[in-house]
Amino acid sequence: MRLKKFFLVITFVFLILQTNFLISIWGQTDPDKIVISIGEKKLTANQVNRMLHVMPPQQRSFFTKTPFGRNQFSHWIIRTELFKQEGEKRKLQNQEEIKKNIEKFKKLLEMEEFRKQVNVHSEEDEKVAFQIFLDGMLAKTAESEIIKEIEIKEEKIKQHFEDHLDSYTVAKVRRITIRSSSANHFYNDNKPRDQIRSDEEARKFAQTLRKKILEGFDFEEIAAKHSDDPTTSGMGGDLGIVRRGTENKHVVTPPELDILFTMNVGSISQVLESPFGFVILKLEEKRKVSLEEARKEIEDRLRSEKLEINFQKMKEQTSIVIDEVFFNTSSPKP
């Protein structure tokens, strides 16, 4: 316990030092120095810091408190600017929907609660916040229009489907979860540790339940009576339909998915260790999704991939210069 607390303290101190170090790098830069150029667009350190100042707290925290975040901020600026320019070429700012959204945002800026949330305290802050909003809206609208214009040929859809058949297999699954002491923190219900089985006790209990199921006891009844998963025990351990590579209704870990898709329908897994304790899986159904079922998802994915290719071309056709000290993920060069 003392060792664990020691590591937590060290981690906390490290994060504080790292955050202060990063902020100091940004603060030491000459405010009038141009730190990013995208074609004719030039931004100084002061302008970039003002942009960060008026962002919502979560975004601001992500972009400023880690080296990775700083690097991502430069990519975000570039992407927004290039797609905004495309939006202006298409005169999207003249669309009625865009005009309505602009008026709505202006009204938000008049609300004191919203101004506090986005750190708007002056007329200059207000201008910067409005410009971020407008640029972002034009960029996102331009992206949406470009995606709609991308044509995906039928042979490409079929080829993607054939090349990723494993991703288009679904399974209907039930699961029993036996909570253990090392997994206790995932449940976040403050249950006393002395009321939780040790890892060894949990494993043995799960093995006992598996043996009963193999002897003919009903999986659903045992799940309803003994499973510690609060989201599925009331449904006989029903996880519904699960699939690789997508967000499932219930959390299913990659090792569980790997086992599931090698099982035969109707079979019971061995007792598996997971972040939530020890689990037993039952595969009730497994089938391939048809091409028609997967068509829209494939089209959306291929369009997104083509959009990224278009974005890379836009970058190649634009003169882009980034201040490596200001935005780089490594320490500043001497």
Give residue-wise pLDDT tens across range 12-56.
333 333 334 344 444 556 888 999 999 999 999 899 989 988 887
| pLDDT value at 8 more than 90 | no
pLDDT at 17: 34
* Residues 172 and 241 sit within 8 Å (Cβ to Cβ): yes
CA angle (145 as vertex; 142, 149 as ends), nearest 5: 135
**What values do phi and psi take at 164, rounded to 5?**
-130, 40
**Could you tell me the pLDDT band of residue 247, with boundaries at 50, 70 and 90?**
confident
What's this model's pTM, rounded to 2 decimal places? 0.68
Lowest-confidence region among 116-130, 198-212, 270-284, 294-308: 116-130
pLDDT at 7: 40
* Residues 16 and 10 sit within 8 Å (Cβ to Cβ): no
- Write out pLDDT tens, residues 248-276: 777 888 888 889 889 999 999 999 999 88
| pLDDT value at 206 more than 80 | yes
Q: Taking residues 182-210, what's their average pLDDT?
A: 85
Between 134 and 167, the higher pLDDT residue = 134
